[in-house]
């Protein structure tokens, strides 16, 4: 099995790109990543995307994007795992290079949510990630399901709604230093408290905004990477785990077993524990998701994820910095692209290129991407050059 | 890089399964394949599917199917490459095992076309495989695009519509020996000639029927395969190539460059030429597709694909048997599952288990799966135990 390095990164600004198509966004990110790697071509393209068929009226986008990016002819397929599609595409790219079958790989995550004709259409599209027969058909959207989880968490652990504000404040503070973020400005606890309710107790300020965006990374074998660049970032773990789609089928709704399994597998591959991780790009689609993920990955005891945030341990200078460039909440959440944005941001941190948001001495970074309410969870651990 | 063997196969009957859901069909095929391999579990599941989001109202199906099949927790992602999604999932499974990262893999192709509310919905869904901006939006369905190709072929090479009938007659003759086929009965040239026109010159008898179905295979490393079974089939080539989605962007509409590239890469990997292939599961979504694929892969000179069929060389005892269990035309075409059905049928042939349809002395079998009108083409070559 070959070692795999990341030798190039690219991203578009996250936001509402009314003037650009899905394939244009992808092409921009891919061109930037190839340029960063000093390459003109690659051997394969794995695209992470969830909703092109439903929202953009186009499947078969991997071949389309390859052609649009000047890569006609190369191997290209799309990988889908709901909101963790981008991370799933990285997993496939990692296997391709590790196997020895493919040398240079582009992994691109892309989503064009503004192709949805209305926010109701966008919500319905996202609900394709939850169990259609037993959740979505009964009106349970992603926000509604997370509201049930948050309410249960508050009940079980005696936590108040406002206690979740630390996640939002942290994410927005970090986004202010990220030129690619959708909402690059701080918000206060007061703003959090006054936000409109979406599905009680989940407010607008608990929820990551839907957005358009594309991010790309270039992979190649470790030995080749060392010849091409001095700042290749090594992938030391790549792990996918699943759980039931429906929350009611789980043994304990507040334990994300997929996140637990995925993190354990990743720690085992890398030969490390949670204590060795210097920063963590968490899947903060909702504040409750961030809390549950931190707990499932061993960064906090159960019921303590919210306190970790309140105590400032998730800040850039805290014990385990999260959402270092704004996270899903403030960088924005272009669904199938998000898992690749997390990796791009980790690579910047591990290269020491994160400017005012730089986590000092970052050596091991972890990213976790979650599909649905935890049906798929994908964890990657990267090591600094 | 590890050798990869196929140690189990399973399939449902192809047809209209009004009483079964997508996940039920997948579960049946997976259970059959695991049983055939003598295994109870696997380490990962790669699902090939094109239209679950559009037609069945459910994305995130890999985790759902894993759970439904008693495999909750394992790695699971969906792979999409239009009609070649099943073959794309096999490509990913092959890389997973070859890399050494995963030991036992289930590859499952599944599609539930009867979830479409009407045949118009089904046609619109399939049109997601062609270029949305430049083809589909202007009313060009898959059938319409293939009609343009067929008309052009007839014009260029002086071929008549009825000359294509040999493909259909061959497919249906072979389907009669396949208990899993949707239309297991012979049809005559007269039936072909009287068939209703869909998009002149493409008639109902030139077109593969849409259907529901699921097929699954179990992969493991070659050395492990030899310990588990005496009839493991080896994957000796696995190649993906792409082309523009839109036909008008290609240099020559009658040359499937993706098919050419994909076949050349596969021949190179296997160290063989077209002359070494004993049988070929061709992607006969339309009769014109079969002709163009045979030519691109080197089984016939350009313009001679139809004559190859007319001369009987595609029959079970011909020079290059195709559609040996009925092909897309008569076994049926459950879109994202079709690429895996082809592999299941090849494995049966290479094990010598194809009954009255057995190709004598089959040692090397090739399968080619095509997305859209040739935007993605995936070729696998398998070797007998």
**Minimum Cα–Cα distance from B79: chain A residue:** A79
For chain A, the 3-state helix, strand and coil shares in percent, each to the nearest 5, are 45, 20, 35
CB contact under 8 A, B261 and A73: yes
CB contact under 8 A, B79 and A77: yes
Integer-rounded Cα Rg, in Å, for chain A is 19
- Taking residues B4-12, report their average pLDDT: 98
- Determine how many CB atoms are found less than 10 A away from the CB of residue A42: 28
Give residue-wise pLDDT tens across range B53-91: 999 999 999 999 999 999 999 999 999 999 999 999 999
User: What pLDDT was estimated at residue A118?
Assistant: 86
User: What pLDDT was estimated at residue B322?
Assistant: 98
CA dihedral B20, B22, B25, B29 (to 10 degrees): 180
Give residue-wise pLDDT tens across range A187-237: 999 999 999 999 999 999 999 999 999 999 999 999 999 999 999 999 999
**How far lies B290's CA from each of A274, B180, B285, in Å?**
54, 21, 7
CB contact under 8 A, B57 and A243: no
- Taking residues B16-36, report their average pLDDT: 98
Query: Does the pLDDT at position B118 exceed 90?
Result: no
Give residue-wise pLDDT tens across range A30-58: 999 999 999 999 999 999 999 999 999 99
Query: Does the pLDDT at position B120 exceed 90?
Result: no
Nearest to A336 by CA among A111, A92, A12, A15: A111
The lowest-confidence range among A92-96, B86-90, B227-231, B373-377 is B227-231
pLDDT > 90 in chain A, percent: 98
Looking at beta carbons, which residues of chain B come within 8 Å of A62?
A: 80-81, 242, 376
**Average of per-residue pLDDT values in chain A:** 97
**Minimum Cα–Cα distance from A132: chain B residue:** B58
Give residue-wise pLDDT tens across range A112-157: 999 998 888 899 999 999 999 999 999 999 999 999 999 999 999 9
Instruction: Please give the backbone phi and psi of residue B185, each rounded to the nearest 5 degrees, phi first.
Output: -150, 145
DSSP code of residue B162: G
Query: Which residue in A60, A372, A376 is closest to B245 by CB distance?
Result: A60
Integer-rounded Cα Rg, in Å, for chain B is 19
Mutation choice for B interface testing from A76, A95, A236, A369 by most B CBs within 10 A: A95
Give residue-wise pLDDT tens across range B151-179: 999 999 999 999 999 999 999 999 999 99
CB contact under 8 A, B249 and A67: yes
User: What pLDDT was estimated at residue B117?
Assistant: 84
- At residue B294, the 3 state secondary structure works out as helix
Residue B123, Cα to own-chain centre: how many angstroms? 19
Taking phi over 0 as left and psi of -120 to 50 as alpha, with beta for the rest, A254 belongs to alpha
Task: Report residue B369 as tokens.
Answer: 């799966």
User: What pLDDT was estimated at residue B119?
Assistant: 84
CB contact under 8 A, B1 and A44: no
Mutation choice for B interface testing from A3, A56, A63, A88 by most B CBs within 10 A: A63
User: Residue for token digits 């189990």?
Assistant: B8
In total, the C-beta contacts within 8 angstroms joining chain A to chain B are 211
pLDDT > 70 in chain A, percent: 100
Q: What is the pTM of this model?
A: 0.98
Residue A373: exposed, middle, or buried by beta-carbon count in 10 A (0-12, 13-18, 19+)? buried
User: What pLDDT was estimated at residue B6?
Assistant: 98
Looking at beta carbons, which residues of chain A come within 8 Å of B75?
A: 91, 239-242
Query: Does the pLDDT at position B225 exceed 90?
Result: yes
Give residue-wise pLDDT tens across range A271-319: 999 999 999 999 999 999 999 999 999 999 999 999 999 999 999 999 9
CB contact under 8 A, A57 and B136: yes
**Minimum Cα–Cα distance from A240: chain B residue:** B75
What domains can be seen in chain A, in order of their start residue?
4-117+211-233 (3.40.47.10), 119-209+236-383 (3.40.47.10)
Q: How many helices (H) and strands (E) does chain B have?
A: 14, 11
User: What pLDDT was estimated at residue A119?
Assistant: 84
User: What pLDDT was estimated at residue A287?
Assistant: 98
- Taking residues B348-353, report their average pLDDT: 98
């Amino acid at each position: 099995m070959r070692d795999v390095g990341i030798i190039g990164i690219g991203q578009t600004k996250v936001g509402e790109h009314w003037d650009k198509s899905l394939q244009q966004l992808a092409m921009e990110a891919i061109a930037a990543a190839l340029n960063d790697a000093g390459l003109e071509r690659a051997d394969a393209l794995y695209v992470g995307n969830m909703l092109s068929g439903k929202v953009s009226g186009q499947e078969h986008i991997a071949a389309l994007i390859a052609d649009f990016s000047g890569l006609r002819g190369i191997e290209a397929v799309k990988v889908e795992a709901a909101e963790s599609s981008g991370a799933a595409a990285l997993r496939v790219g990692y296997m391709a290079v590790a196997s020895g079958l493919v040398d240079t790989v582009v992994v691109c995550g892309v989503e064009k949510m503004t192709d949805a004709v209305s926010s109701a259409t966008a919500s319905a599209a996202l609900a394709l990630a939850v169990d259609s027969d037993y959740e979505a058909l009964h009106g349970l959207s992603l926000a509604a399901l997370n509201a049930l989880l948050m309410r249960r968490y508050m009940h079980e652990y005696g936590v108040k709604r406002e206690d979740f504000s630390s996640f939002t404040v942290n994410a927005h503070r970090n986004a202010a230093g990220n030129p690619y973020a959708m909402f690059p400005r701080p918000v206060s606890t007061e703003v959090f408290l006054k936000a409109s309710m979406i599905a009680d107790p989940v407010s607008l300020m608990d929820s990551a905004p839907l957005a358009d965006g594309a991010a790309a990374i270039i992979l190649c074998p470790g030995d080749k990477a060392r010849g091409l660049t001095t700042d290749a970032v090594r992938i030391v773990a790549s792990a996918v785990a699943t759980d039931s789609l429906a929350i009611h089928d789980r043994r304990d709704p507040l334990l994300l077993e997929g996140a637990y399994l995925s993190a354990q597998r990743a720690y085992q591959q890398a030969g490390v524990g949670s204590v060795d991780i210097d920063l963590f790009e968490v899947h903060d689609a909702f504040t409750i998701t961030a809390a549950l993920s931190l707990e499932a990955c061993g960064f906090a005891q159960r019921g303590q994820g919210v306190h970790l945030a309140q105590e400032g341990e998730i800040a850039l200078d805290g014990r385990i910095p999260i959402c270092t460039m704004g996270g899903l909440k403030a960088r924005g959440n272009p669904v199938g692209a998000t898992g690749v944005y997390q990796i791009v941001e980790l690579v910047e941190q591990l290269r020491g290129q994160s400017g005012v948001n730089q986590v000092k001495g970052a050596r091991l970074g972890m990213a976790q991407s979650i599909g649905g309410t935890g049906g798929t969870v994908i964890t990657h651990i990267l090591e600094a050059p």
